[in-house]
């Protein structure tokens, strides 16, 4: 029994990270209809910036907001200097539909090369904000540690902030309106371009948070977040790519199912399971387990 | 397909056009073959080896051009399909001692079968979904090879095509032998693709790419047509994988990293993704970039960190620039500007 609960807790902690990455992908998808493969690159760059702060000041709690803000800034810059130009230039012809995929892929490679040039390819340790020794109850120590608690709590707070912004503020209304129908939103006086850039900034911040939360439990290298990008994508597809709640739940579903497979079946099956889940969702319920009825054709 | 009798003038013209296209194509291929034969005898050993690599990339890039440029689907996982082909080839060689040409056929068949399964899922997906799914494949599949003992784990399996036949002379080197095999396979593969693209299927794919609804109305079976494109493209990628492992004599999971999948997509985009002959340009660029950046790095005298990342930087920058300035390939761009 305690084994089940422990696995569940670890799954929730891992799933929280997937949720954040998936949130970053969903925010961009909703605002611009682009699956942002560069998200892993943007997140790794923000994480390295956080790493610089943490090695110089030895203070994780200063690195966290710095990484978050730089993530938001990077996201906004990517939208302004790449995606807007791309939307203007590559809007017709045979490969227009896949041009954003290729462009964000190129950006991923570019950021990774730049990060490699500055910091090199060696694995680095990111200081833990709290211990990764499991909580102890009486004489038993469980795998769930303060760092996992921090991950879960931060994710919940981020999700709450985003849902308040989206549901209760004018900015959220503008974001939803320009995602739903850019033309009508523009006619109603929403500055759609600016709103999109804000969506990209939010996404960049969410990716950066995922980066600085997961990296202390692991190591840091120019491509250490690539797997997270794939997991985030799987989570986003499970959630239907459209809804923020779907992204959060998709991440949890993936995290918990992976944790159970790792614990009870085999540690080498993590990837096949994720891939099978992805294929199954795409084939059986392409609108996502929590998605609406709209058929995806974009 | 029924052989129809040409009735109208338009149809006679069209048949003439197709026939002319075939003759020009055949002449081009024969000329290319002779040119390659002559070239392999005069350039030095390193260039011959690079030539073999170019031939491998030509095959890989052609598979992407067929898939993306013609049927409008994208794959970020062709590196994984190359791995499928390579492992199939090496297993058939090591366990059943198949002759070399047959191992290539096995590679094509295995990758095509795998691609057909993937394509059945992929035919229902489009754009970003397909990209994400194939990306997941590229990240995960090669590492899966570590789990099975028969696949040799991290060290991989050796793939030995043997020494060049003695009949070719004493000073016929191993690299030259690689080059001959790779170049011949590349010519054959390109020839097959060239004809497939000129056939009914190639036209169906182009119709599908421009407007799926209109294509369906004209009687194109959209899903089946997409799966066919994915299957053929995967088979070609499998051949590229087998050829690549031949040139390095080894099949390991680390030979098929994510960057390989990205590199061949980059090559295809640089080549102008809608033009088959562009695959040669793309392949040469892919082989030239590390060379050029190495020369640049020694000239500038940068640190190891900079020099090792320079090829990636250059390739990504080229990818972004080409998609920004020639999203549909240079030749379509040129046609458009000439019209306006």
The pLDDT value recorded for residue B152 is 73
**For chain B, what is the domain count?**
1
Domain annotation covers residue A291: no
pLDDT tier for residue A297 given thresholds of 50, 70 and 90: very low
The CA distance from A149 to the nearest CA of chain B, in Å, is 29
CA distance B280 to chain A (A): 20
Contact between chains at B135 and A286 (C-beta distance less than 8 A): no
Note the pLDDT of residue A69: 96
**Domain contains A214:** yes
Give B69's contacts in chain A (Cβ within 8 Å): 94-95
Please report the pLDDT score of residue B123 as a whole number: 66
Residue B168 lies in a domain: yes
A199 is a domain residue: yes
Q: Spell out which residues of chain A touch residue B144, defining contact as CB-CB under 8 Å.
A: 271-272
Higher-pLDDT residue of B13 and A237 is A237
- Position A291 pLDDT exceeds 50: yes
Residue A182: which H helix or E strand, with range? Answer: helix A182-187
Question: How far does A21 lie from chain B, in Å, by closest CA?
Answer: 14
CA distance A74 to A77: 5
Picking from A274, A260, A266, the residue whose alpha carbon sits closest to that of residue A232 is A274
The mean per-residue pLDDT over the stretch A215-233 comes to 88
d(CA B149, CA A285): 36
Taking an 8 Å cut-off on Cβ atoms, the answer to whether B274 and A86 are in contact is no
Residue B19 lies in a domain: no
Residue B189 lies in a domain: yes
| Residue B7 clears pLDDT 70, i.e. is over it | no
CB contacts, 8 Å: A297 with chain B: 126
Q: Which of A98, A113, A297 lies closest to B312 in CB terms? A: A113
Q: At what angle do helices A226-239 and A270-284 cross, to 10 degrees?
A: 30
Reported as a single tens digit per residue, the pLDDT across A60-94 is: 999 999 999 999 999 999 999 998 888 887 666 66
Cα(B273)–Cα(B199) distance, integer angstroms: 19
| CA trace torsion A135, A141, A143, A147 (10° rounding) | 20
For the purposes of burial, counting CB atoms within 10 Å of the CB of A84, is it exposed (0-12), middle (13-18) or buried (19 or more)? Answer: middle
Does the beta-carbon distance from B147 to A268 stay under 8 Å? Answer: yes
Which residues on chain A are in Cβ contact (under 8 Å) with B260?
none
**DSSP reduced 3-state for B315:** helix
Give me the total of CB pairs closer than 8 Å, taking one residue from chain A and one from chain B: 161
Q: Which of A109, A115, A116 to mutate to test the interface with B (most CBs of B within 10 A)?
A: A109
Q: Judge residue A33's burial from the number of C-beta atoms within 10 Å of its C-beta, 0-12 exposed, 13-18 middle, 19 or more buried.
A: middle
Q: Looking at chain B, which residue has its C-alpha nearest residue A223?
A: B258
User: How far is B286 from chain A, CA to nearest CA, in Å?
Assistant: 15
Flag whether B208 is in a domain: yes
Query: Is the pLDDT reported for residue B78 higher than 80?
Result: yes
pLDDT in tens, B143-152: 777 777 777 7
Stronger pLDDT, A54 or B24, i.e. the higher one: A54
* Nearest alpha carbon to residue B56 among B273, B263, B289: B263
Residue B236 pLDDT? 95
Q: Which residue of A has its CA nearest to B308?
A: A117
Largest CA distance in chain A: 67
Say which CATH number the domain at A126 has. Answer: 1.10.3470
Residue A289: inside a domain, yes or no?
no
Question: Does pLDDT of B94 surpass 80?
Answer: yes
Range of the domain at B196: 43-257
In this structure, of B115-119, B227-231, B275-279, the range with the lowest mean pLDDT score is B275-279
Those residues with Cβ within 8 angstroms of residue A205's Cβ, 6 or more apart along the chain or in another chain: A68, A69, A71, A72, A75
In a domain? residue A23: yes
3-class SS of residue A105: helix
Decide if B328 and A237 are in contact by the 8 Å CB cutoff. Answer: no
Residue in B121, B126, B319 closest to A106 by CB: B319
In a domain, A91, yes or no: yes
Termini Cα distance of chain A: 45
What is the number of structural domains in chain A? Answer: 1
Residue-number span of the structural domain to which A32 is assigned: 2-284
CA angle B117, B118, B121 (to 5 degrees): 100
Residue B314 lies in a domain: no
For residue A296, tell me if it sits in a domain.
no
CA dist B294 and B328 (Å) reads 30
Residue A41 lies in a domain: yes
If one compares B143 and A185, the residue with the highest pLDDT of the two is: A185
């Amino acid at each position: 029994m305690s084994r089940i609960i422990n696995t569940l807790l670890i799954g929730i902690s891992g799933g929280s990270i997937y949720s954040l990455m998936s949130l970053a992908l969903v925010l961009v998808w909703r605002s611009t209809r682009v699956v942002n493969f560069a998200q892993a690159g943007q997140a790794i760059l923000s994480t390295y910036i956080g790493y610089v702060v943490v090695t110089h000041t030895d203070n994780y709690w200063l690195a966290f907001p710095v990484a978050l803000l730089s993530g938001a800034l990077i996201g906004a810059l990517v939208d302004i200097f790449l995606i807007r130009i791309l939307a203007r230039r590559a809007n017709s012809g045979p490969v227009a539909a896949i041009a954003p995929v290729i462009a964000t892929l190129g950006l991923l490679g570019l950021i990774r090369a730049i990060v490699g040039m500055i910091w090199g390819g060696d694995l680095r340790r990111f200081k833990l904000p709290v211990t990764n020794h499991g909580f102890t109850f009486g004489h038993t120590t469980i795998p769930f540690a303060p760092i996992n608690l921090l991950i879960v709590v931060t994710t919940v707070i981020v999700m709450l902030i985003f849902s308040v912004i989206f549901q209760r503020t004018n900015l959220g209304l503008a974001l939803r309106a320009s995602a739903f129908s850019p033309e009508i939103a523009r006619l109603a006086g929403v500055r759609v371009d600016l709103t999109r850039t804000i969506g990209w900034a939010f996404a960049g911040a969410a990716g950066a948070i995922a980066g600085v939360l997961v990296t202390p439990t692991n190591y840091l290298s120019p491509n250490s977040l690539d797997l997270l990008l794939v997991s985030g994508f799987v989570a986003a597809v499970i959630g239907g790519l459209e809804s923020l709640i779907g992204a959060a739940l998709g991440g949890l579903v993936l995290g918990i199912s992976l944790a159970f497979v790792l614990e009870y079946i085999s540690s080498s099956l993590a990837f096949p399971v994720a891939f099978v889940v992805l294929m199954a969702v795409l084939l059986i319920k392409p609108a996502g387990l929590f998605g609406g009825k709209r058929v995806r054709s974009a | 397909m029924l052989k129809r009798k040409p009735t109208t003038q338009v149809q006679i013209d069209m048949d003439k056009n197709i026939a002319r296209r075939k003759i020009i194509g055949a002449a081009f291929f024969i000329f290319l073959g002779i040119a390659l034969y002559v070239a392999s005898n005069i350039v030095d050993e390193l260039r011959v080896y690079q030539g073999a690599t170019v031939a491998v990339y030509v095959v890989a890039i052609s598979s992407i051009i067929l898939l993306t440029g013609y049927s409008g689907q994208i794959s970020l996982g062709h590196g994984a399909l190359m791995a499928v082909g390579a492992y199939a080839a090496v297993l058939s060689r090591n366990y059943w001692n198949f002759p070399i040409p047959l191992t290539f056929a096995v590679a094509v068949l295995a990758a095509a079968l795998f691609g057909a399964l993937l394509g059945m899922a992929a035919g229902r997906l489009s754009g970003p979904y397909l990209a994400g799914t194939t990306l997941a494949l590229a990240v995960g599949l090669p590492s899966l090879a570590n789990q099975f003992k028969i696949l040799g784990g991290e060290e991989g399996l050796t793939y030995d095509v043997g020494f060049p036949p003695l009949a070719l002379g004493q000073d016929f080197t191993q690299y030259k032998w690689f080059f001959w095999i790779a170049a011949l396979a590349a010519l054959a593969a390109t020839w097959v693709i060239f004809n497939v693209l000129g056939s009914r299927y190639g036209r169906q794919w182009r119709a599908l790419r421009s407007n799926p609804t209109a294509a369906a109305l004209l009687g194109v079976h959209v899903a089946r047509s997409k799966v066919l494109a994915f299957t053929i493209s995967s088979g070609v990628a499998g051949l590229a994988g087998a050829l690549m492992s031949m040139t390095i004599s080894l099949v390991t999971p680390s030979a098929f990293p994510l960057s390989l999948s990205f590199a061949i997509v980059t090559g295809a985009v640089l080549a102008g993704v809608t033009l088959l002959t562009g695959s040669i340009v793309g392949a040469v660029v892919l082989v030239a970039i590390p060379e050029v950046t190495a020369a640049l790095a020694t000239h500038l005298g940068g640190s190891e960190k900079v020099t090792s990342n320079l090829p990636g930087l250059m390739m990504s920058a080229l990818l972004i620039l080409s998609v920004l300035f020639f999203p549909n390939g240079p030749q379509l761009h040129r046609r458009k500007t000439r019209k306006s």
